[in-house]
Chains A and B, each alone.
Chain A
Amino acid sequence: MSFLQSIKNKVRSRSIHVSYVDVGACNGCEIEVRACLAPRYDIEQYGIYVHNNPREADVLIVVGAYTHGWEEKLAPLWEKIPDPKAAIAVGNCPISGCCFNRRGSYIDPPVSRHIPIAAEVPGCPPRPTEILNAILSVRDSVFANWEAEHR
């Protein structure tokens, strides 16, 4: 590993910017992502900042079952995020559609068919600690040594 790469690894491990997008959830997972901000879970002590701005994000948290309204919007949003990047599907909805995946509904799950998903957190909704754990696991598996592996 080059010296530059080791500096990048060290810096990146303490600075992850998160953006979240709701593509048709019931709000349950959405507020659990928000609850990660609470002093009890304190997402910022790990160097994770929730800015909700895709252009400066490293991690995109996808919540919801991919409604038709997002068909031409989610992929361009994913393109806007600079490399290295990772998407995390939070909740059952982006994985399988959960209870909304029935005949007659206006959804098109799973989200992994539309953008590449790095980690999935099942649950309806998952607890904030599980979401936090997923973000931290992505940090080690995707962002570490990224340049060495992709360039």
Chain B
Amino acid sequence: MKRTVDVNIPLGPIHPCFKEPARVKCETKGERVIAAEVELGYMKKGIERIMKGRPWQEVMFLAERVCGICSVIHNMVYIEAMEQISDIRVPPRAAYLRVVANELDRMQSHLLANFSYCYTIEHETLGMYLLDCREQVMDLLERLTGARVTCAYIIPGGVRCDIHKEDLTFMLEALTRTEHELLRYTGMFETGPMIALRSRGVGVLTPEAAQQAHAVGPTARASGIAIDRRTEHPTYRILGFTPVVRHDCDNYARIMVRFDEVFQSIRLIRSALNGLPSGIIRGGGTCKAGEVRYSGEAPRGELTYIIRTDEYGRVAEIEIQTPSIMNIEACCHSMIIGADSIADVTSAFISADPCIACTER
């Protein structure tokens, strides 16, 4: 097919707006973008290759380091997959604490994503407010697990440490404070006229295109597709969970879905902490041989681990499917095409919250 292209504009790999190295190559005609391609390959470390043949204890720490932003969910999905293989039962108190750690991690990831978006559309004030909010959430995560990032909190048969009674009341109070502040910032985002100019109707991903590209997570939920793996998780079912869906399909909807999910996470943590069952936090068990495919909902969408272990608990085969690759595809096939200017390319790309470290591993 013959096409008239004015300029090929590469964005990246070092770019002020990108957290991680990726190159977006845009073919433009005038200011309008007519095609885009995302070039990866700066972060390939071969984690799955070094995981093979190692005992599960080592793979647990490697699995966390697939992605530093959403390390808790990688830990959780890997450990729950190992538990399914080995028939290990989790005490109810530990199952609830897992949900608390996971939702705190989701909150900080979503707040970071929204900060990146605000930074990209040059609304630095709101970005800094959100980053300050994120620090408060990181404090709670540190109080619960003992580390800010890569905390290795979840282990087979339970969690590593219990929550103290004074920590519990502190956490509930801090969540109320954070919720109150976030309500104000969300209102600023919702009603800001300059934000609306940069966000509404930009980077439209129609439900059909989202389905075609197999978009997952908040990107798909902002296009009206109600997919969320948390609906199938037993603990989330007890706590009562319904996915957040919006139908605007643009940048604005994607950011608002993340804000809504942060409030939903606060509600989930509150109900988990209020109804926290008493008892032990570690049941114990032995990792056995078997094969399983297990999925969980990462902050960016569905995360799948396919694991085969041998009789000593070593990981013989492992495959990880991370959410970002589908969202990046959806981004460069639908969102970026037809963008009015190059400035909208970066904002649409960042609004899908691509995590290159997850994608390439």
Query: Given A30-B19, A35-B131, list of 18 further CB < 8 A pairs?
Result: A19-B14, A21-B14, A22-B20, A22-B21, A23-B21, A25-B357, A27-B20, A27-B67, A28-B149, A31-B69, A34-B131, A39-B132, A40-B135, A69-B44, A99-B62, A100-B50, A102-B50, A105-B50
Q: By the criterion CB–CB under 8 Å, are A52 and B135 in contact?
A: no
Q: By the criterion CB–CB under 8 Å, are B112 and A22 in contact?
A: no
Task: Tell whether B177 is near chain A: CB-to-CB under 8 Å.
Answer: no
Number of A positions contacting B (CB below 8 A): 43
Q: By the criterion CB–CB under 8 Å, are B132 and A99 in contact?
A: no
Interface residues of A (CB under 8 A from B): 19, 21-32, 34-35, 37-40, 51-54, 64-65, 67-70, 73, 77, 98-100, 102-107, 124-125, 127
Residues in chain B near residue A107, CB distance under 8 A: 45-46
Measured CB to CB, the closest approach of chain A to B55, in angstroms, equals 13
Most chain B beta-carbon contacts within 10 A, residue among A37, A54, A77: A37
Residues in chain B near residue A99, CB distance under 8 A: 61-62, 65
Measured CB to CB, the closest approach of chain A to B258, in angstroms, equals 16
Most chain B beta-carbon contacts within 10 A, residue among A19, A21, A22, A40: A22
Task: Tell whether B148 is near chain A: CB-to-CB under 8 Å.
Answer: yes
Residues in chain A near residue B61, CB distance under 8 A: 99
Interface residues of B (CB under 8 A from A): 13-16, 19-21, 41-47, 49-50, 61-62, 65-69, 71, 112, 128, 131-132, 134-135, 138, 148-150, 355, 357-358
Residues in chain B near residue A124, CB distance under 8 A: 150
Distance, CA A103 to CA B138, complexed state (A): 34
Q: By the criterion CB–CB under 8 Å, are A69 and B42 in contact?
A: yes
User: What 3 A-B pairs are tightest by C-beta distance, nearest first?
Assistant: A28-B68, A27-B68, A38-B131
Q: By the criterion CB–CB under 8 Å, are A27 and B128 in contact?
A: no
Question: Would you mind naming 19 contact pairs between A and B with Cβ atoms under 8 Å apart?
Answer: A22-B19, A22-B21, A24-B44, A27-B19, A27-B67, A27-B358, A28-B69, A28-B149, A31-B68, A31-B149, A34-B131, A39-B128, A53-B14, A53-B16, A100-B50, A105-B45, A105-B46, A106-B46, A107-B45
Distance, CA A51 to CA B14, complexed state (A): 11
Residues in chain A near residue B44, CB distance under 8 A: 24, 67-69, 106
- How many residue pairs bridge A and B at CB < 8 Å? 121
Distance, CA A107 to CA B62, complexed state (A): 15
Residues in chain A near residue B42, CB distance under 8 A: 22-24, 67, 69-70, 73
Residues in chain A near residue B13, CB distance under 8 A: 73
Distance, CA A26 to CA B45, complexed state (A): 9
Q: By the criterion CB–CB under 8 Å, are A65 and B50 in contact?
A: no
Known: A73-B13, A99-B65. Contact between A28 and B150, CB under 8 A? yes
Q: By the criterion CB–CB under 8 Å, are B45 and A104 in contact?
A: no
Minimal Cβ-Cβ distance residue in B for A91: B68
Known: A26-B357, A31-B69, A69-B44. Contact between A37 and B128, CB under 8 A? yes
Distance, CA A25 to CA B67, complexed state (A): 9
Measured CB to CB, the closest approach of chain A to B96, in angstroms, equals 26
Q: By the criterion CB–CB under 8 Å, are B68 and A125 in contact?
A: yes
